[in-house]
Structure 1
Amino acid sequence: MNKPLRRVAVCFLALVLAVMGRATWIQFFRADTYASDPHNPRVALARYSQPLGNILVDGAPVTGSAKTGRNLAYKRTYTDGPLYAPITGFSSQIYGSTQLEGVYSKVLDGSDPRLAKPADTLMKKRPKAGDVSTTVDARVQKAGYAALKGKSGAAVALDPDTGKVLSVVSTPSYDPGAFAGSAPADQAAWEKLEKDKNKPNVNRAMRQSLAPGSPFKLVVAAAALTDAPGTYPDIDTRTDADSPYPLPGTSISLPNEDPNAPCKDATLRVALQYSCNNVFGKVANTVGQDKIQQMAEKFGFNTDKLDIPVRAGKSVYPTGMDRASEAMSGIGQYDDLATPLQMAMVTSAIANDGTLMKPMTVDKLTDGSGNSIQDFPPTEYSKPVTPAVARSLQSAMQTVVKSGTGTGAQIPGLTVGAKTGTAQNGVNNSGTPYAWFVSYAKNSQGHKVAVASIVQQADAARAEVSGSSLAGPVATAMMKAALQ
């Protein structure tokens, strides 16, 4: 063989070896990656080749499957889609999956290896899809959704004893079934949803963090009673708080919403009862941001890894503040941010005598025959405060309902505690304030529920925005549904 021919032969041999190496790499080391790639059409063909499993509420499916007559043989359907969308998310042949549909996609499409039976493996058959059982209480979900109808807002209800999520409401909502398929109508529905200025596809209950306003005063009060017992030995000790409170290092004073409220030197109980800004600005400066940060983080702030199992948005207590900002942060303003889920967690821990249970939306996964393949027992998240401090805060919150800013939340036959609030929105409060209401209720059998609700009603007159009048009825309806 002459030299040029030998060089060509070597070159071709190298190319053959490269192709063989590449094929080996793909088949043996990258097979799983390509098999699960959402852009691989075989993934979608397999996923929608049979009816999907269901997401259950109170043991009944709120999802389903329908034949399409296309290559993707089945598509997802939803019962009361807008009602449960903040929980289920969507499963779309084009746009993928979110929320529980996404987290448990392998269970719902039958590809989870725990679903396979020996016969399935032998016949190389895709197992029957499994189901996802949620902790949601349909009565509470419907009550919250009805109360928020026509408003922009959200609400979350928790069982303080277990951490079970009883309700996740976000309005305005959307119908996930409108774009579950791959027809032109589905694409048009998706584009309309994406362009909607009201953003119905945003999960306001779990993924939108806003200024918490006065409900954050519960966290500050918890820090004061826990970390400054010498200055604040109990909920009924008078504080040394001028009204209005001069913000340190500035010529500005922090006023109260009601100038006639008895806020000067008020006790923590009275300060919560009348939502006295001066007291909590003073308390925040006295306790200090480091202690308040530690308390806030025990309640769930400053983590971006809260999975219930869908990952929640981050709630923030800021650091590195000057004294004036520290005081403003003490009333839930400055750079404080919280989701309704986070504020429900604060109330839940207080209602549960200081123990915060980790929120959970799913209690069981089952196979196609209803047999459990995984159970999710309640787990403790933290112990932010002692039982004594928690009961003091419970007592103060009950005072808010009996004779303070939350009297509208009184429910015959139930013990109710609450904290109302409004939070400034926009630069120099240029936007309509947010109305907040956090509460808990207990019946005579000892069953409890904790609720946080927010209304972001952009078309409301500023003078009409209050936590008690706008967000309070939402929480009250959900507490009644849970316990009556």
Structure 2
Amino acid sequence: MNKTIRRASVFCLLLVLALLVRVTWVQAYQGQALADNKNNRRNLIGQYENPLGNIIVGGTAITGSEKTGGKDFGYKRTYTDGPLYAPITGYSSQAFGTSMLEGVYKNVLNGSDSRLKTVMDILTNKRASPGNVLTTIDKDVQKAAYDGLDGKQGAAVAIDPATGEILAVVNNPSYDPGRISGANDKAAWDELAADKGKAMENVALRKPQAPGSTFKLVTLAAAIENGLVTSIDQPTGVPGNYTIPGTRTKLPSEAGDEACNNVSARTALKLSCNNVFAELASKLGQDKMRAMAEKLGFNTQIDTPVRTNPPSKYPTKKLSVDQIAQTGIGQFDVQATPLQMAMVTSAIENGGKLAAPHMVSEVTDSGGTVLESFKEPKTQQVMNPKTASMLQDAMRTVATEGGGKPAQVAGAEVGGKTGTAQRGVNNNIPPLAWFTSYGKAGGKQIAVAVMIENSDTDRSEIGGGRLAAPIAQKMMAAWLKK
């Protein structure tokens, strides 16, 4: 063999060896990464090759699958009462991906989660039978909130304070996720997205807004915890004709200066006197106010397991004294979701203990074997039991004598707090109407928060007690009267 042929042979051998090394590398080390790549269409086809697992409410599946008759996708997702449960399920779309529980548990529901695989599945490299997601949602509380919000733009959340189980998550407007579950539903998607996604926006969990006077519960909790208020029936000494500290601006209260002059914390909460809570916040200072808010969940992303992003917010940048005063009444840069305000009330009702809120109780395989359980959530003592008791006492007065009267449930103890949050430049946007409350009877308890963004009510009539409290009442009654 001459020299040229020998060199060519060696070169070809090296090329073959390089090719073998590359193939081995791809199959042994990069194969899984390529298989899991989001742009791998085979994965998408595999997800919808067979029926999906289900999301379950009260023992009944609220999702399903139907044959498409198509070449690539054998099945597509269907929904029972889609708009009712959309804030919980989200969507599973062949064209647009997944969201909410459909997204969090995508691999369980489509059978690709490794925990679902049997020995036979591993040997045959077959996709496992899909699992199911069991929620904590109560269908009656969910329906009460949904019906109550009819004709209004807003959201509502209910929690069992003792367990942290989320009983209801409702948005209005809502949407039917079944409209966008197929591969050719772009027209429906464009229609839903036309109004900046408002129908698909999860206001209850993911749109923090000014909580208004409902935040006064946090302010009063901080004042009691820090010894600034030792009795809810002792006069506070705050004048009704009150000027915001560091300014010449008067801070009016809806009840009037005279009614809010030198009142107790109980009366201040009942009449929602801005002067008292602005002064308490001013005396406490930003650090103590923020510390109390953060104990209750502000400035923290909460996994329910749907993540609250962005989180509810108490300002962390340094504030001026007048800005701190405004935070005491739930204005300036304070922002909260209905979930967050339900958490505040939940901790108050539960003796100062905040159980981690969650909307999933168990994740199982197709045979019912539990893969994940959330029945023993983390619980944290966020305020002294005495503080919680004093707040409950003051909230009961709001519900029996104040603006929370529409929330009363026959045979139950109810406490509440109204709120009206101003919006826009010079209040040029209709205010938010808030109401948060707790109810307990017969060994059962519930915490609720309702927020109305807009309604057909005249601007002068917008208020938490008038608009939101009746919805909270229906939700509490649905749970307590079971």
TM-score (norm 2): 0.95
Per-residue deviation at 1:370?
A: 2.0
Post-superposition offset of 1:36: 1.8
TM-superposed deviation, 1:437: 0.2
What secondary structure is seen at the aligned counterpart in 1 of 2:206? coil
Superposed counterparts of 1:435-474, under 5 Å: 435-443=433-441, 445-457=442-454, 459-474=456-471
**Equivalent-residue separation in structure 2 for 1:112 and 1:276 (angstroms):** 54
1:279 to 265, 273, 276: 276
1:267 aligns with 2:264: yes
Q: Which residue of 1 aligns with 2:215?
A: 216
CA distance in 1, matches of 2:237, 2:429: 33
Match of 1:150? 151
Deviation, 1:15, is: 6.7
Q: CA deviation at 1:367?
A: 1.2
Instruction: Please list, as runs of the form range in 1=range in 2, the aligned pairs for 1:309-348 lying within 5 A after superposition.
Output: 309-313=305-309, 314-319=311-316, 320-348=318-346
Cα distance change of structure 1 residues 150 and 9 upon mapping to structure 2, 3 Å threshold: farther
Paired with 2:288 and 2:87, the residues of 1 have a C-alpha distance of 34
SS at match of 1:303: coil
Give ranges in structure 2 of 5+ residues lacking alignment: none
Q: Give aligned-pair identity as a percent.
A: 50
SS at match of 1:423: strand
Matched-pair contact (CA < 8 Å) for 1:148–1:154: yes
> How many angstroms does 1:8 deviate by?
8.6
Alpha-carbon shift at residue 30 of structure 1 (Å):
2.8
- Deviation for aligned residue 1:163: 0.1
Q: Aligned equivalents of 2:341 and 2:12: distance in 1?
A: 67
- The residue that corresponds to 2:204 in the other structure is 205
Output the CA distance in 1 between the equivalents of 2:195 and 2:437.
32
Matched, 1:253 2:247: no
Contact 2:423 2:429 in 1 (8 A): yes
Q: Distance in 1 between matches of 2:160 and 2:57?
A: 16
Distance 1:123 1:3, change over 3 A: closer
Matches of residues 61-210 of structure 1 in structure 2 within 5 Å? 61-70=61-70, 71-183=72-184, 186-196=185-195, 199-210=198-209
Aligned to 1:35: 35
* 1:309 partner letter: P
Q: Match of 1:361?
A: 359
In 2: Cα distance, 1:9 partner to 1:234 partner: 95
Q: Which amino acid aligns with 1:60?
A: T
1:225-244 alignment to 2 at 5 Å? 225-227=224-226, 229=227, 231-244=228-241
SS at match of 1:377: coil
Q: Once the 2 structures are TM-superposed, how far is the Cα of residue 366 of structure 1 from its aligned partner? A: 1.3
Q: Name the SS of the counterpart of 1:253 in structure 2.
A: coil
Q: Please state how far the C-alpha of 1:381 moved relative to its aligned partner.
A: 4.1
Residue number among 391, 399, 402 corresponding to 2:400 in the alignment: 402
Alignment match, 1:303: 300
Task: Provide the C-alpha distance between the structure 2 equivalents of 1:20 and 1:348, rounded to a whole number of angstroms.
Answer: 62
CA contact (8 A) 1:85 1:173 kept: yes
1:403-427 CA-partner distances (Å, limit 9, x unpaired): 0111111111010000001001112
Aligned residues between the structures: 478
Aligned amino acid, residue 356 of structure 2: K
Name the CA distance, whole Å, in 1 between partners of 2:261 and 2:8.
Answer: 94
Distance in 1, Cα, partners of 2:265 & 2:14: 80
Instruction: Using the TM superposition, name which of 133-142 and 449-458 deviates more.
Output: 449-458
1:2–1:364 CA distance, 2 compared to 1 (3 A): same
How many angstroms does 1:219 deviate by?
A: 0.3
Letter in 2 for 1:252: T
State the TM-score, normalized to the length of structure 1: 0.94
Confirm whether residue 433 of structure 1 aligns to residue 431 of structure 2.
yes
Return the letter of the residue paired with 2:459: R
Tell me the residue number matched to 1:288: 285
Give the drift of 1:22: 4.7
List 4+ stretches of structure 1 deviating above 3 A. Answer: 1-26
Unaligned runs of 5+ in 1: none
More displaced, 39-48 or 431-440?
Answer: 39-48
Partner of 2:416: 418
1:369 is displaced (CA, Å) by 1.7
Moved more, 242-251 or 331-340: 242-251
Tell me: CA distance 1:44–1:255, structure 2 relative to 1, closer, same or farther (3 Å).
Answer: same
CA positional deviation for 1:223: 0.4
Deviation for aligned residue 1:290: 0.6
Deviation of 1:362 after TM superposition, in Å, equals 0.5
Shift of 1:120: 2.5
Q: What CA RMSD, in Å, does the superposition of the two structures yield over aligned residues?
A: 2.0
Task: Give 1:161's aligned amino acid.
Answer: A
Q: 1:10–1:307: structure 2 CA closer, same or farther, 3 Å change rule?
A: farther
**Against the structure 1 CA distance between its residues 261 and 403, is the aligned structure 2 distance closer, same or farther, given a 3 Å change threshold?**
farther
Aligned match of 1:475: 472
Q: What is the letter of the counterpart of residue 310 of structure 1? A: V
> d(CA) in 2 for partners of 1:191 and 1:171?
19
